Amino acid sequence: MMSGKENSSPRLLVRQGTSTHPDAAEAVRQLAAQIRQPASGLSLAFFSDAYDRRELARALRDQLPGPLIGCTTAGQLSPLGFQLGGISGATLASEYFQAVPYLIHPLSALAEQVERIAADVQDRLLAAKTPAFGLLLVDGLSAKEEMLSACLYRALGDVPLIGGSAGDMLHFKETFVYHDGELLQDAAVFTLCLTSLPFSVFKHQHFTPTATRLVITEAEPERRLVREINGQPAAAAYARLINMPLNQLDAGVFSRHPLMLRIQDDYFVRSIAGIDSNGGLKFHCAIDKGLVLTIGEGHSAEASLQAAFAGIREQIGEPAVILGSDCILRRLEMEARGIDGSVGRLMSENKVVGFSTYGEQFHSLHVNQTFTGVAIAG
């Protein structure tokens, strides 16, 4: 199956497409036929980990115009709404938009690489004299997102940063980012987007903090593992705080009752990934001893998302495209509530291009259960 659409505005032309063909070369051919356009300033491709990697990388290099960025996913945001499997993507063409990708590989040596990138970015900003934002795609199993986001954001100065962690459809085995004809692990691609078009970088979540607070009293940050909460085994303490039997804790419960961390005047979600064999809680992002967290309480995902899109329109006008990173836990929650179809349609109607992630980046932070993105108007 293949599907596509075009979003036109006076100064920005966006073509979106998708294919669910099981053969990598044919799926890319179908996608390219829908989104290829003259003078493309940026191509994006988001794809299933089920494809043969070499064949997929070769087809992406040969058939889609550069600069091209992409990654494996836990599902896509496409003209189909929440797309499972296959490939989706888009091209952006405008004389007012320029994209410059930078590879960061390996992530164990990210500090010196970020320093070199930041120097080049500053030169480009001075020469272009236009606003800019950054897109970040990163190996979702690297556990390096916190360090990478913080390092980039500090080095880049006033450049807002958003992005997502690559997925592999909840297999949690291998995730890849695309760069220059290769699919790479232990890697990230930071893309500087220079544009005089109106844009808005945003973070959206449908949870608010409750009055129930807790303290992390024992943790292994390098493993994203919490051993104790309030001086008690973490999983048992969490179960008591949400009034749920310990043996009923699962991904659905974790997605409905996330933990939230307050930073200045805002709250950020810290999602639970599971329970380890010793009764600890594994997290999808960094967690540390001494943190004070709050149990989150959900409200209408659909209504709050509609309000977020309305706020974007008030700020910049009608978007030609929204480049988005949406946590896989949000989609799983929506599937459990039976609203994934309507929310997926809402995403598509608002011209969202992106993917379901293993974590999201927002400025200097790596977060969970959040929808981060940038809306660009024409």
Looking at the structure, tell me whether residues 197 and 292 fall in a common domain: no
Picking from 298, 315, 345, the residue at the C-terminal end of a domain is 298
Picking from 269, 298, 327, the residue at the C-terminal end of a domain is 298
Q: Which two tokens stand for residue 159?
A: 């450049």
CB of 349 within 8 A of CB of 319?
no
Query: Any idea what the CATH number is for the domain that residue 229 is in?
Result: 2.40.30
For the segment 358-372, the average pLDDT, to the nearest whole number, is 95
Looking at the structure, tell me whether residues 11 and 55 fall in a common domain: yes
pLDDT computed for residue 318 by the predictor: 96
pLDDT computed for residue 240 by the predictor: 97
With a cut of 80, say whether residue 50 has pLDDT above it.
yes
d(CA 260, CA 367): 10
With a cut of 70, say whether residue 3 has pLDDT above it.
no
Looking at the structure, tell me whether residues 86 and 27 fall in a common domain: yes
How confident is the model over 130-185, as pLDDT tens digits? 999 999 999 999 999 999 999 999 999 889 999 999 999 999 999 999 999 999 99
Looking at the structure, tell me whether residues 175 and 128 fall in a common domain: yes
Looking at the structure, tell me whether residues 220 and 293 fall in a common domain: yes
With a cut of 80, say whether residue 356 has pLDDT above it.
yes
- Closest by CA to 257, choosing from 235, 230, 233, is 235
For the segment 362-378, the average pLDDT, to the nearest whole number, is 95
- Using only the alpha carbons of the chain, give its radius of gyration: 20
For the segment 216-243, the average pLDDT, to the nearest whole number, is 96
With a cut of 70, say whether residue 236 has pLDDT above it.
yes
Looking at the structure, tell me whether residues 195 and 241 fall in a common domain: no
How confident is the model over 284-319, as pLDDT tens digits? 888 999 999 999 988 888 999 999 999 999 999 999
Domain membership of residue 170 as a residue range? 2-204+301-377
With a cut of 80, say whether residue 351 has pLDDT above it.
yes
Between helices 110-128 and 145-156, what is the axis angle to 10°?
30
With a cut of 70, say whether residue 209 has pLDDT above it.
yes
Amino acid at 160: P
For the segment 242-262, the average pLDDT, to the nearest whole number, is 92
How confident is the model over 82-121, as pLDDT tens digits? 999 999 999 999 999 999 999 999 999 999 999 999 999 9
With a cut of 90, say whether residue 61 has pLDDT above it.
yes
For the segment 20-27, the average pLDDT, to the nearest whole number, is 98
CB of 315 within 8 A of CB of 357?
no
- Closest by CA to 336, choosing from 243, 250, 227, 275, is 250
Q: Given the DSSP bridges, would you call strands 182-184 and 87-93 parallel, antiparallel or unpaired?
A: unpaired
The model's confidence at residue 1, banded by pLDDT at 50, 70 and 90, is low
pLDDT computed for residue 158 by the predictor: 87
What is the DSSP code string of 235-297? HHHHHHHTT--GGG--HHHHHHS-EEEEETTEEEEE-EEEE-TTS-EEESS---TT-EEEEEE
Q: What percent of the chain stands above pLDDT 90?
A: 88
Looking at the structure, tell me whether residues 169 and 245 fall in a common domain: no
pLDDT computed for residue 300 by the predictor: 87
Looking at the structure, tell me whether residues 342 and 353 fall in a common domain: yes
The model's confidence at residue 2, banded by pLDDT at 50, 70 and 90, is low
For the segment 350-377, the average pLDDT, to the nearest whole number, is 96
Looking at the structure, tell me whether residues 256 and 149 fall in a common domain: no
Mean pLDDT (the chain) is 95
Looking at the structure, tell me whether residues 110 and 224 fall in a common domain: no
The model's confidence at residue 67, banded by pLDDT at 50, 70 and 90, is very high
When mean pLDDT is compared across 17-21, 328-332, 349-353, the lowest value belongs to 328-332
Looking at the structure, tell me whether residues 47 and 30 fall in a common domain: yes
Looking at the structure, tell me whether residues 61 and 96 fall in a common domain: yes
Picking from 283, 298, 313, the residue at the C-terminal end of a domain is 298
Q: How many domains is the chain partitioned into structurally?
A: 2
d(CA 45, CA 17): 9
With a cut of 90, say whether residue 251 has pLDDT above it.
no
